[in-house]
Structure 1
Amino acid sequence: MSIYTHLTAFGGYKVTLWEPGMPLGDPATTIHRIAVEYDESTPWADKLQAFLELPGAERTPGLVIGQWDEEIGTGTEPDDMIAALVAAAPRLPALRVLFVNDITSEECEVSWITNGDLGPLLAAYPALEVLGVRGGNALRLGHANLPALHTLILQAGGLSAEVVRDVVTSDFPALTHLELFLGTEDYGATSTPEDLTPLLLGGRFPHLKYLGLKNSDRQDEVAQVVANAPVLDGLEVLDLSLGTLSDEGAAALLGSPGVRGLKRLIVAHHWCSEETVRQLEALGPEVDASDAQEADEDDWRFVSLGE
């Protein structure tokens, strides 16, 4: 899985590119992506400033941050982008939806995107309701306190143990949708299933309905620890897709009363046998077991989103 296209919708809004000289879209339906192109002379922060100066910018409900530097794939750090967004916070009082790094693989592979400490950014926008971030390199959230956040999505070829612990120990009391692309060690994943413990014990996010622990090269272990975790009691959807799930991990799901009580189980992109898939489909929840893979003679398995 590579990311070939920019977002066209996010957080319930249509996403359109904004360039200096263009009018603002209807804030009831539209949010804008602000980005620079390769070899472009206008800095990203200057484009944001031009956006802020438009009449009605203060009613902007969301932003999508695209490529913020023409050399983003060379290890350039996003300090200037983060600082510009933090400084803009008083002029964006209605901002509730934010996606950081809507960057395609043609612009920069996800494993090359250098993030940074987004803690100051989250502190500047405490009313955020929907947050998406792409890229795991150097990413940190700190101990965030976002009382209205209901959706959090982190897309990466690999998430560090530190950022996973940032997520599961932060204060997101309204969270209903949590989606973590845990990734592979080859691209920076250092977390273990044990790092998920505060989440799996339940109660941390009492309104959680969708839990995505996906794209992991340790998907069997993730399935085994989540299969009988208290967090399942309140879930409607468990998403273990895009990773290396096999019959070993699926066996734990088959023996789990909590999994039987789900509305939907997603294991797409997997290495399960046809018989195991049939057993999963007979459990009770709606099951998505599409994109079955075949192991080679060395049993080599791969995550969907890596490089």
Structure 2
Amino acid sequence: MSRKKTKTYAYNYEQYEEQGKGPKDIIGDILADKDFTDLTELVIGCWGNPWEENCQEVINGIVANADRFSHIEKLFLGDMDFEECEVSWIMQGDYSLLWASMPQLKELTIKGSMDLELGEIRHEGLESLTIICGGLPKSVMKSIQKADLPNLKKLLLYIGIEDYGFDGDEGAVKELLEKSDFPNLDYLGIVDSEMQDELTKIVLASKYAGQVSVLDLSLGTLTDKGGALLLEKIPTYPNIKKLDIHYHYLSKEMTDKLEGLPIEVDASDANEEDAYDGEIYRYAMLTE
């Protein structure tokens, strides 16, 4: 029998309201599913009431049944769209015990940052860590900064904004990049920020700029100020083969110049700034 790659387990609001389904039930339903043993990727979506209950029971259930989850190499916890739950309302959990219980795990994606704790991160095999949120807490950044992930190849962090969980500043991102140690990192994404120009400067001055082949600065408020920095610095980093800046506030002229770089450039989804009462407003893609 060929192994199925992925399957999503989730409850909709009707299942929550009418059947009482919630995070306490999802692990049992997964383990009872005849398809489960053939999976390598597990996606857990809405657990019925993610704005009222966090997913700690889901995490705890995986840890408690670690032997039965030993074939899962990719885990996505919180895969839901805004109609199910706004990203800023998703209540996450504490992943401290997950690292040791899933030594086979290669990819972890987390959506939502409310109640999110990563604890002390030590994992020999993890190759990809993605956190999708409307605001990334400093405590989470600190855990990543101190993480022991010798084989991490991809790090993608949605920075977000203060109103929805980001309680740091550009200095916190700079410290993360300076003090972390990911010798095999090949993809760096610092995205979805209202200070994307400032973060672009920090990323381009970091040690990882001379290491990665993919640089992702998308989904934020990148303007011609940041674009000019990219135009100047990218040619000095021959290791960078792809630049992702889709969803931006660049002028057509700057976009054309960046797309003329001798690398793969995604500069799609241009946005226009709003002007109101003499003020200019630009917005990151994912916040609330």
Q: TM-score by structure 2 length? A: 0.89
**Residue 167 of structure 2 aligns to which amino acid in structure 1?**
T
**Residue 31 of structure 1 aligns to which amino acid in structure 2?**
T
Q: Which of 256, 276, 281 is 2:254 aligned to? A: 276
* 2:285 counterpart residue number: 304
The 2-side partners of 1:305 and 1:276 are apart by: 24
* 2:43 counterpart residue number: 64
How much does 1:55 deviate?
6.2
The 1-side partners of 2:282 and 2:211 are apart by: 31
How much does 1:58 deviate?
4.8
Contact persistence 1:261–1:285 (CA under 8 A): no
Q: Any idea what SS the aligned residue of 1:212 has?
A: strand
**Residue 91 of structure 1 aligns to which amino acid in structure 2?**
R
Per-residue CA shift, 1:68-117, capped at 9, x if unaligned? 2x2222x3222222222221212222221110011121110111101121
Residues 43 and 200 (structure 1), Cα distance of their counterparts in 2 relative to 1, 3 Å cut: closer
The 1-side partners of 2:23 and 2:178 are apart by: 42
* 1:9 counterpart residue number: none
1:161 equivalenced with 2:142 (yes/no): no
Per-residue CA shift, 1:125-157, capped at 9, x if unaligned? 122101000001121111211111111111001
Unaligned 5+ segments in structure 2 are: none
Contact persistence 1:260–1:284 (CA under 8 A): no
1:291 equivalenced with 2:284 (yes/no): no
Q: Any idea what SS the aligned residue of 2:258 has?
A: helix
The 2-side partners of 1:258 and 1:154 are apart by: 29
Superposition pairs of residues 78-97 of structure 1, within 5 angstroms: 78-97=55-74
Residues 210 and 104 (structure 1), Cα distance of their counterparts in 2 relative to 1, 3 Å cut: same
The 2-side partners of 1:54 and 1:115 are apart by: 24
Contact persistence 2:62–2:69 (CA under 8 A): no
**CA RMSD, Structure 1 to Structure 2 (Å):** 2.2
Contact persistence 2:185–2:212 (CA under 8 A): yes
Per-residue CA shift, 1:245-282, capped at 9, x if unaligned? 11122222222144565111111111112222233223
Residues 201 and 50 (structure 1), Cα distance of their counterparts in 2 relative to 1, 3 Å cut: closer
Q: Percent identity?
A: 36
The 1-side partners of 2:182 and 2:119 are apart by: 17
Superposition pairs of residues 135-284 of structure 1, within 5 angstroms: 135-197=112-174, 199-201=176-178, 204-256=181-233, 257-259=235-237, 261-284=239-262
Q: Greater shift after overlay, 170-179 or 252-261?
A: 252-261
Unaligned 5+ segments in structure 1 are: 1-25
The 2-side partners of 1:35 and 1:203 are apart by: 34
The 2-side partners of 1:79 and 1:43 are apart by: 11
**Residue 277 of structure 1 aligns to which amino acid in structure 2?**
T
The 2-side partners of 1:67 and 1:288 are apart by: 31
Q: Any idea what SS the aligned residue of 2:255 has?
A: helix
**Residue 46 of structure 2 aligns to which amino acid in structure 1?**
Q
How much does 1:28 deviate?
2.5
The 1-side partners of 2:71 and 2:42 are apart by: 11
